[in-house]
């Protein structure tokens, strides 16, 4: 999250708001033994048994997962960013309808650009702008960042849990890929952004391993306890 401020010269600056905001969702958790919900701590007359309740769940909400899921192309563009300051003729109509998230081809510069800033527009005429050059050749490069981005473990019933794995699907070119659990037989699933499977609960918990694989790419191995 960022705080945006504009100075007297129209320059925009951003400062991070660390430890103030976060994303979360809730996941319903079932109880093996019903919990007692008491409205009045001094009296059990208003007590009820509850068999499940929502708990905070932060899986698949990390920065790395969000970037890989929604901003892969933009990340490729910005890895080797080229910022160009130019003057472009703009009218009031241009300002009213301008698209700051689109890509423009500028014939005079012979390339595609993202319009990042418009400075001090007052009336139609040549206006100072800041452009980000889009280098499409840089989008497909070697990416050594993690492929598996998150894991969610949710109770299915007293003896089983549902395991959901979130991963960067853009790293695979195949329609179907495999996951390998505990070095067992590969299991095929449709390449999307996440997949789920059911695993039996062990007591004490067992450390499981999992990785994704295809003819072209093999992911890192993750560990989780169930």
Give the model's confidence band at 191: pLDDT under 50 very low, under 70 low, under 90 confident, else very high. very high
Give the pLDDT confidence score for residue 171 in this predicted structure: 85
| Inside any domain, residue 169 | yes
Q: How many CB atoms lie within 10 A of CB 68?
A: 23
pLDDT band at 136 (very low <50, low <70, confident <90, very high): low
**Domain match, 60 and 156 both:** yes
- Report yes or no on 173 lying in a domain: yes
**Residue 126 falls inside a structural domain:** yes
* Among candidate residues 99, 118, 134, the one where a domain is terminated: 134
Specify the higher pLDDT residue, 1 or 108. 108
Task: Find the mean pLDDT for residues 56-80.
Answer: 73
216, 162: one domain:
yes
pTM over 0.75: no
Q: DSSP state, 92?
A: H
Please indicate, yes or no, if residue 95 is contained in any of the structural domains. yes
Co-location of 152 and 211 in the same domain: yes
Q: For 39-52, write each residue's pLDDT tens digit.
A: 766 665 677 888 88
Q: Which domain holds residue 98?
A: 81-134
Q: How many domains does the chain have?
A: 2
Q: What is the pLDDT of residues 77-133, one digit of tens each?
A: 766 778 889 898 989 888 888 877 778 888 888 888 888 889 888 888 999 999 988
For residue 52, count other CB atoms closer than 10 A to its CB.
Answer: 12
Work out the percent of the chain whose per-residue pLDDT is above 70: 86
């Amino acid at each position: 999250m960022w705080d945006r401020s504009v100075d007297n010269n129209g320059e925009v600056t951003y400062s991070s708001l660390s430890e103030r905001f976060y994303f979360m969702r809730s996941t319903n958790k079932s109880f093996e033994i019903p919990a007692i919900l008491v409205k009045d701590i001094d009296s059990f007359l208003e007590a009820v048994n509850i068999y499940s309740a929502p708990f905070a769940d932060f899986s698949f909400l990390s920065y790395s997962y969000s970037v890989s899921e929604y901003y892969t192309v933009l990340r490729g563009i910005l890895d080797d960013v080229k910022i160009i300051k130019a003057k472009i003729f703009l009218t009031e109509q241009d300002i009213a309808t301008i698209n700051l998230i689109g890509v423009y081809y500028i014939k005079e510069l012979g390339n595609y650009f993202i319009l990042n800033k418009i400075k001090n527009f007052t009336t139609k005429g040549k206006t100072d702008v800041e452009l980000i050059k889009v280098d499409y050749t840089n989008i497909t490069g070697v990416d050594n960042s993690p492929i598996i981005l998150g894991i969610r473990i949710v109770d299915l019933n007293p003896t089983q849990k549902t395991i959901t794995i979130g991963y960067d699907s853009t790293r695979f070119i195949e329609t179907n890929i495999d996951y390998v659990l505990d070095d067992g037989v590969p299991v095929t699933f449709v390449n999307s952004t996440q997949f789920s499977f059911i695993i039996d609960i062990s007591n004490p918990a067992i450390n499981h391993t999992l990785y994704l694989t295809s003819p072209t790419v093999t992911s890192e191995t993750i560990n989780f306890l169930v």
